[in-house]
Chain A
Amino acid sequence: MFYNLNRNLPYICFTNSIIMGRTNFLGEFEELILTMVLILEDEAYGNTVVKAIKEHQGREVNLSSVHITLYRLEEKGFLESYMGGATNVRGGRKKRYFKITNAGKVLLQEMKDARTNLWKLAPQLNFSKI
């Protein structure tokens, strides 16, 4: 059990696996980006991730934060990248596509399970509609 103190929101991450012997927990933003890459499948690169976050979460994020997080996740081994898909709009420059690795999938799954387990321990509250 780890407490991530680096974020503004106190967020608890659960994971058992130690991957690549380095970091084995994710920040809230990292988890978000990782999930987005998962969702976008073969179309995941900087701009699409920004757009997807806006679309699904209504949240404006800066391209720079996304890139930096992507590289960081790649370094941690949760993502892998390859170049390709140059278009005219990009001035003929290639895109760096990202793909989630197995380790990344496992981590996401574990985090989800851990949270579900924790919710089960919470007293069953009834939220009545207002």
Chain B
Amino acid sequence: MLTMTKHRLPYWPTRFFKWYCNPRLQEAILGDLEEQFEEDIQVYGLKKAKRRFAWTVIRFFRKDIIKPTEGTQKLNYYGMLKNYFITSIRFIKREKVFALMNISGLALGIACALVIYKILDHEFSFDKHHENYQQIYRINNEDITTDGTKLWRGQVHPLASTLRSEFPEINASMIYYEKEAMIGIEAENGNIQRYQEKQGITFVEPEFLELFTVNFLAGDHRTALDQPNKVILTASKVRKYFGLTEDNFHNAIGRSIILDNTRTSYVSAVIEDMPMSTDFPFDVLFNYQDQEAVNPWFYDGQSWGEYNSATNCYVLLPEGSDPNVFEKKLEAIVAKYLPEHIIEKRTYRLQPLSDLHYSDQIRKTYAGITATKGELIVLGLVGLFLIVTACINFVNLSTAQAVKRSKEVGVRKTMGSSKSQLVVQFLCETFVVTLLATGVGFLLATVVAGEVELIFNDQMTLDLFSDVSIVYFLIALVIGVTLFAGLYPSFILAGMNPILAIKNNLNVKQTSGFLSFRRALVIMQFAISQILIIGIFILNAQMNYFQNKDLGFSKESIVIVELPEKDSTNLQVLKNELVSHSSINLVSFSSSSPMDTWRSSNPIFHPNIEGQDYMGNLKTVDPAYFDLYEMEMIAGEPFTQSDPRDHVVVNRKVAKILGFADPNDALGERIKYGRGRLEFTIVGVVEDFHAGSLHADLENVFMANVPWNIFQASIKLNSADGSFAEMKKSIEHIETSWETSFPNHVFDFEFYDEAIAKMYALERSVSQVFRIFVIIAIIIGSLGLYGLVSFMANQKTKEIGIRKVLGASEISICNIFSKELITLLLVAFTISAPIAYFLMRAFLDTYAYRVKLGPQFFILAILVSLVIAVLTVGHKSLKVARANPIDSLKDE
């Protein structure tokens, strides 16, 4: 023992120990520790001894050993904190109106923030469940045209298989999304139960299952689609078609499914339903080859010239490979396989799956419309705005109470409270209020979320309890709101001069400083709600514009039904049957209605437009079409049933691009359509009409009585006796005639004006959701305003008393407040108007046809905010103006 060399104690643990240890105990413990350390070195070696030393030091970190931090102050700390909470609750109980306003304002803001958070969460979760999320790309076409480059998604059928054989290192799959198809299920007794599926019917290559993540409940994923006539169903479809439950899904395997009465496939697997947040909302997955049954342009899938926006190509690149390199390689494919006239203009572009849902260039996916990052940011900003206005509100209301609480602050300070303690106290109060508001806000949010889900037709689930991330969001929200809303009032309150506070001499001098700050806040609040009000007015105007714009044709009392079979005698029978009813005037068979999402778009050729790329939209129509849709003929005559089939009626725009200012000159011109042998003679010109939604420009429309592409019947009802019962009878008549003609199909119909309205469903939903948020913003804003006015009233109690004594009328006293208010409103307006102008102009620019951004919206907005302001303030200022001056003056 005597020869032992001394070791130094490990530095950091020792230092830590000395830092926390009670000095009274330190010497003995440290001695014991060192003694043990030396012995440990003998027994275990230096390294382990050090570790044991550190561990023991950590173990010593206990209540009995740690030194009390700041003497007596520390001992009081928890007690004071408890006291703060108690006083907060007492304060809330005492000032019920004030607390109610504070809590409800914050709760509204928090509810909106929660709902917006959930919407954003939903939007940003799209497609993320695929394991290969980072490596999947869609191949888009970038074409150079006369109007600049154009990006689009339709692909030729053989692309994926060619890519697979040319580049063995990658994987690729085609997807064809049919959207609507009829599924027949044969019952045991031989009857066929038919379902018209409006979404989820898709045709994919077997490689699809290797690219995308699909969870199998029954069946083998390797063989599920390896040959034609195999089909995969989701769990919900299996339930619907076969009435099976989860434990006997495997019974569905091998059952037959009849597609459009023509092709029988056998169920090979059952998969989980796709999540809500997918751009691939597939329910029934057929083998790619089976689309023959529904897609007349499939041609064995070998054509390199047939495009369709529902036919897309996805590739899976190996991990870590550079998409740009692969994009370069694709140039070889263009050169090798595509027709000559395209090679020059075409570049294949890779679009990552992670960009698919947020693209602003290709705005459609199988699931609907994309949500661009910009739009989502705007939504996030609205949420932030709402929270900020709610916080501003809180600041306003709390500082308005400052005068009332000044005595409390004075007493606390006199008793020895430090400024920081007072700040903590008021922050505690804010925290309690925020916590209560969050609770209420959460309840409100469930209501708002339900409303939003309803507006979006349940295409979005906003289950607030679905995952834990909402808890983190709530915690962040509570802390953020507490600090943002609480800090300023806390410092104001805590900074009061105790002598003045107790003497109740807190007058203009001490408080005017923060009045100007509060004015700035109110201006900001006003500005935010004015921007939102202007926004909602313009959005509404645009919606009305969609509804009421003259489209160039009539859309009233027209019923559209599908024609599943094209047999011409059968169609004639149906037509005769339909017009036999008294209330049906006109029936027309066509490929599509005048304004339709379906289009057949091909290049047109004429000597006058040599070398320019113009596309023509060809509609198959019969002679009755023009009368039925009340189109205005400006030159020539519509063709008749006996005319040659190459007669075509075009719109004015076609005549114009051909260089004929007078449409009559265009008559008789021969024009080539597509790259085949189609050639038309113009026999008539109609006034321009909108062939696509008002998002887009006018198109070059060709209407000819060609024998293909007859998909639907338009039926004009006699609107003279348009009572509901009459209407119902006509529809019933249509249904029976239709069912006699097509006994193996499911009848469905649509009113044309409703179909048109559906094209703007997204805008409508967005404007409805937006309206909810605007209303909430206005409510919050009014609460804040009320706070400001009460503050002013408290401040000016004496002034008003004196004025009244000297003979001021109630109205003149109300004017004191309104003058201030109108100034604030106008200042806010000068800020909000330009911002709103630029924002809304950018928004309207996304529509080819839009309302004029006139001054009326701005005038309306300021009027509305004025009315709201006067209503909010009127009550309070009248109350002050009517108060007996004695009460306010004897306050001393």
Q: List 27 A-B contacts (CB under 8 A).
A: A46-B29, A47-B32, A47-B39, A62-B55, A62-B59, A63-B32, A63-B36, A64-B62, A64-B65, A65-B59, A67-B25, A67-B60, A67-B65, A68-B62, A71-B25, A83-B27, A86-B31, A89-B1, A89-B34, A90-B31, A90-B34, A91-B31, A93-B28, A94-B31, A95-B28, A95-B32, A96-B28
Mostly, the B contact residues are helix
Do residues A67 and B38 form an inter-chain contact, with CB atoms below 8 A? no
Complex: chain B residue closest to A87, CB-CB:
B35
Q: Which residue of B lies closest to A92 (CB)?
A: B31
Contact B60 A93 (CB under 8 A): no
Chain B's nearest CB lies how many Å from the CB of A69? 9
Please tell me if the beta carbons of A68 and B64 are within 8 angstroms of each other in the complex. Answer: yes
Chain B: residues with Cβ within 8 Å of the partner, total of 24
CB interface residues, B 1-58, toward A, < 8 Å: 1, 4, 6, 9, 25, 27-36, 38-39, 55-56
Contact B64 A45 (CB under 8 A): no
Measured CB to CB, the closest approach of chain B to A93, in angstroms, equals 3
Chain A residues within an 8 Å CB radius of B64: 68, 71-72
- Residues on A with C-beta less than 8 A from B65 are 64, 67-68
The residue from B4, B30, B31, B36 contacting A50, defined by CB atoms under 8 A apart: B36
**Nearest CB of chain A from residue B39's CB, rounded to whole Å:** 8
Chain A 53-104 interface residues, beta-carbon cutoff 8 Å to B? 62-65, 67-68, 71-72, 83, 86-91, 93-96
Q: Write the residues of chain B forming the contact surface with A, with a CB cutoff of 8 angstroms.
A: 1, 4, 6, 9, 25, 27-36, 38-39, 55-56, 59-60, 62, 64-65
In the complex, the answer to whether A89 meets B38 with C-beta atoms within 8 Å is: yes
> Which of chain B's residues have a CB closer than 8 A to the CB of A62?
55-56, 59
Residue of B with least CB distance to A49: B32
Residues of B within 8 A of A72 (CB): 64
Majority SS of interface residues in chain A? helix
Beta-carbon nearest neighbor of A96 in chain B: B28
B35 contacts across to A, CB distance below 8 A: 47, 87, 89-90
Contact surface of A with B, Cβ cutoff 8 Å: 45-47, 50, 62-65, 67-68, 71-72, 83, 86-91, 93-96
Residue of A nearest to B22 (CB): A71
Q: Give the distance in Å from the alpha carbon of A91 to the alpha carbon of B32 in the complex.
A: 10
Residues of B within 8 A of A67 (CB): 25, 29, 32, 60, 65
Q: Which residues of B contact A90 (CB under 8 A)?
A: 31-32, 34-35
Enumerate chain B residues within 8 angstroms of A86, measured Cβ to Cβ: 31
Bound together, the chains give a CA A69 to CA B27 distance in angstroms of 17
Cα–Cα distance between A50 and B34 once the two chains are bound (Å): 14
Per the bound structure, the CA–CA distance linking A68 and B56 in Å amounts to 12
The residue that B32 contacts in the complex, of A45, A65, A68, A88, with Cβ under 8 A, is A45
A46 close to B56 (CB less than 8 A): no
Q: Is the CB of B59 within 8 A of A93?
A: no
Question: A8 CB to closest chain B CB, in angstroms?
Answer: 18
A63, A72, A83, A95 interface centre (most CB from chain B within 10 Å): A63
Residue of B nearest to A65 (CB): B59
CB distance from A25 to the nearest CB of B (A): 19
A45 adjacent to B59 (CB under 8 Å): no
Closest-CB distance, A79 to chain B (whole angstroms): 13
Identify 10 new A-B residue pairs, CB closer than 8 A, beyond the known A63-B56, A68-B65, A90-B31. A45-B28, A46-B32, A47-B39, A63-B33, A64-B56, A67-B29, A72-B64, A87-B35, A93-B31, A96-B28
Q: In chain A, what residue has the closest Cβ to B32?
A: A46
Once the chains are docked, how many angstroms separate the CA of A72 from the CA of B36? 22
Q: How far is the CB of A58 from chain B (nearest CB, A)?
A: 16
CA distance A90 to B56 in the complex (A): 16
CA distance A106 to B224 in the complex (A): 83
A29 to chain B, nearest CB (A): 14
Given contacts A72-B64, A96-B28, is CB(A64)–CB(B59) below 8 Å? yes
Query: B60 to chain A: which residues have CB within 8 Å?
Result: 63-64, 67
A96 to B32, CA, bound (A): 9
In whole angstroms, how far apart are the Cα atoms of A9 and B275 in the complex? 51
